[in-house]
Chains A and B, each alone.
Chain A
């Protein structure tokens, strides 16, 4: 078997039959249900809470019940587990109401009276950004000397994006229990060790008294990265106090309205052009972080570090800010800042090409980076980069030249070229994550993978098992995968940043190579492997200079749309993608990621319109927040080149996030091409088109 050959997913049959037990399917003896008591205002002080007399079997868990700290440790500790005196967003948790019977809980909750001293919430991103105390973080860097360059003209554009909801099909859910004196949290989550870290701080106990176990996860897309840490602290405190299992599964409306989503952004980009080339660029992005910082500062960094995309631009001025508002707090979502910045950059590049009377791909080609070039942050691209080859591939597979030269009515084409860096930013893998993996050979010759990276639909179990099986030259069904359980697996880092295959897979491949020589030994053999930073990664976190990422994956996309001249409905008919992900570990899994990302990106481009009014998310049901259905998906065409990456397992780089990032700018450009407009916001809804026509 070749590494790229497709295999059946390890977890496929159980899911098809409905046998896989997700958190809401699991049974716990003596279990209680929890429901969150939430703030009804966006900003103010809680002056009084009147709890009616507690009936038997109804319990309240609030800030007073946090054994050590009423704080959720993410990067900062600014978010309380339960709001105590003040509330900072609509829907902020104040307490859990826990009981045996869901109806009884709801009935009791309807009688709780909360009095507030309301304050004027700050909900508008631009307004908030004008207040210095609302800037949570600010980062900037420069390259070359933008103020000194000579140029023919400069072009400035402003772009805006709104929320995008992950809308995993399985809602957020956790169960807290106390098992043999150990406070244990089961949950649908991406990062068991993030949750454990938050629990240690909130509960004031160590990892021998706290345990996190991931349950099969029905989609996450970043939405179950940091948010479950909050839920974990809540149910842990409840279970610890009540000494019974407590289950908290969010209602879909709560999940849509009150959990993290993609940051709304405003971006200003100015290009300095000489001889039809971009010589310099000034980019400014602000993100609506909501009321707590969460991961927003890291999201913003990814946005500014990759802002020059696939282009060599000698003079840069970059600035990013995270802005505090009284909106729901925003967080991780597939792409992590790149979908916003790449939307702006790529649509801007298409606009520039049009302005200069050039084909958008031909214009881009003049700027392509290659190996050895300096990155935006003055690191060096270490791996081979084949952007011209990828563009050729795209042109051939789509019949690009002929298609765009034909006269069309109400149909248009748009392109994008985007990179996505795999793994943590800068030296994050070495300094913050320090991944450890283990491989265990059992006495019966079977091999078990011990990592904290989870299966959430992307195919992690299959991919990692396949890597190990092929290195060991054994059948895949003799390779097992231990449930990510902090009592059983080492901390190989979170399941984020498209790092599982590229970083964790590489560690497992190394471990397997060592194990191979010891397979003949009797009894158990355990191999432990630690992350080592490649020599070419140099990073200064203070100055933001060096290699922002170890290696990049690439995509070149073409979208074709048709626009209805009366309703301005957009139909995307085709998306073509040419990819460089190193060597794909499994072609079928790669295609699954590509197609899923393309369609999620299409939703971001034209359909998924989530807005906030006076701090409240306005679309919190499936019917008010349409995502692509079978009727909306275009024909999806994907091809790739093989470009082995020296430090990836079998040459693999990252996949998961890249596939979403480039879609919106390509689709937006196609709409513009179809009806001759210029847009500056997504989603490009019929209303936006209508507005752009006047």
Chain B
């Protein structure tokens, strides 16, 4: 058994694959957690965002060597949090979901933005989500959804 470990959604895992394997493939293929999507395969779209030790990364660019000893959280675990519930409500209310392929990654970016403590005005939201591409919505409903989290107490999460 491998000496290398990482934590995935709160559970300890031994790394049995090559350390150069992409984290995205381990999540999606080896672990069968398909909520994290692959859009561009080159770090440009944000569909594959996950948390690594509380910071967001495009998992298509992360080799397993970079997560040794670290904690990875995907949408599957994040979707069980209360913070997620608020994001979900805001997105549904604003009509910010269309084809849904960018959406889990978008949710992760929003979560990171909430944790940053930045004011949730449109400029900050644009900046915070600038690494997430959406081809369907034109983004405006997503801005509305995120800005609406301000009213529900967005900063103290």
Which residues of A are interface residues toward B (Cβ below 8 A)?
6, 8-9, 11-22, 24-25, 27, 166-171, 216-221, 251-253, 456-459, 588-589, 591-592, 594-600, 621-623, 627-631, 633, 636
Contact = CB atoms under 8 A, between A and B. Distances in A.
Nearest to A6: B95
A622 B40 contact: yes
B93 A167 contact: no
Interface string B44-63: 11010000000000000000
B148 interface: no
Quick one: which of B134, B136, B142 has the most chain A CB within 10 A? B136
Quick one: which of A16, A591, A636 has the most chain B CB within 10 A? A16
A46 to B, nearest CB: 29
Interface of B: 28, 32, 34-42, 44-45, 47, 74-76, 79, 84, 87-88, 91-95, 97-104, 107, 125-127, 129-130, 132-143
B92 A9 contact: yes
Contacts of A456: 99
Nearest to A13: B88
Contact of A15 (B32, B34, B97): B97
A143 to B, nearest CB: 37
Top 4 closest pairs, chain A to chain B, by CB: A18-B35, A15-B100, A457-B99, A218-B101
Contact of A457 (B42, B98, B133, B140): B98
Contacts of B132: 630
- What secondary structure prevails in chain B residues at the interface with A? loop
A622 B103 contact: no
A633 B103 contact: no
B41 A252 contact: yes
A219 B136 contact: yes
B142 to A, nearest CB: 8
B138 A596 contact: yes
B32 to A, nearest CB: 7
A17 B42 contact: no
A167 B45 CA distance: 11
A9 B97 contact: yes
B79 A18 contact: yes
Contacts of B47: 169
B95 A17 contact: no
A252 B45 CA distance: 12
A6 B94 CA distance: 10
Contact of B42 (A218, A600, A621, A629): A621
B98 A592 contact: yes
26 contacts: A6-B95, A12-B92, A15-B104, A16-B87, A16-B100, A17-B35, A17-B84, A18-B34, A167-B135, A169-B101, A219-B98, A219-B99, A220-B99, A253-B41, A457-B99, A457-B100, A592-B95, A592-B138, A596-B135, A621-B40, A622-B42, A623-B44, A627-B133, A628-B139, A631-B130, A633-B138
B135 A169 contact: yes
A8 B95 CA distance: 7
